[in-house]
Amino acid sequence: MKSEHIGERVLNEAQIRAGVETVAEKLNNQFSDAVVITVVPGGILFTADLVRELKFDIKMDYISCPHTPGVSHNQSRIVYHENIPLNGKDVIMIDDAIESGGTMKRLVAHIQEHYKVKSLSIATLFVKPGRVDLPVPQYYAYEMDNDDLLVGYGLPWQDKLRNIPYVSKLVK
């Protein structure tokens, strides 16, 4: 794919596969069954790759809270239909990345306030250093060196470029 917004590669396809395996191994060592909730649309690609590597029983659901990448004060509406009951369950929220962490913090608070889950964790491919503190266990493969805006593998720029099979720096 060609786009003037795709810059230097940060994670190639092999690194992404290795990252998926790393996160899956951590989760496989921790859980015997869980409800996984994908943060859509960004977490779809990572979730699809990750759940195929999980060796425990899962049920799947999804949640959304549209936001602009890099904006830490997302106030958009959280949409969660609870297709799978969460009370008493181990719950893993899956997204492509924790960037600022503002949206994920709101999603975690939403689940904790509205459901009596057994445990709540987060699984992502990578996290950024400037993220906010999140009060739940986090399973991830990579910690980025900086807070550069990134695109690809679920990460958008102007609602495009999510389908790039690698992660690159954004060129504005």
Q: Give pLDDT, residue 74.
A: 67
For all residues of the chain together, what is the average pLDDT? Answer: 94
d(CA 74, CA 92): 21
Q: Tell me the pLDDT tens digit for each residue of 71-97.
A: 556 678 899 999 999 999 999 999 999
**Topology (CATH level 3) of domain 13-67+74-144:** Rossmann fold (3.40.50)
The answer to whether residues 40 and 62 touch, using CB atoms and an 8 Å cutoff, is yes
Q: DSSP state, 40? A: E
What are the extents of the domains in the chain?
A: 13-67+74-144
pLDDT attached to residue 84: 96
What is the rounded CA–CA span in Å between residue 7 and residue 26? 31
> pTM score, two decimals?
0.94
pLDDT in tens, 45-73: 999 999 999 999 999 999 998 765 555 56
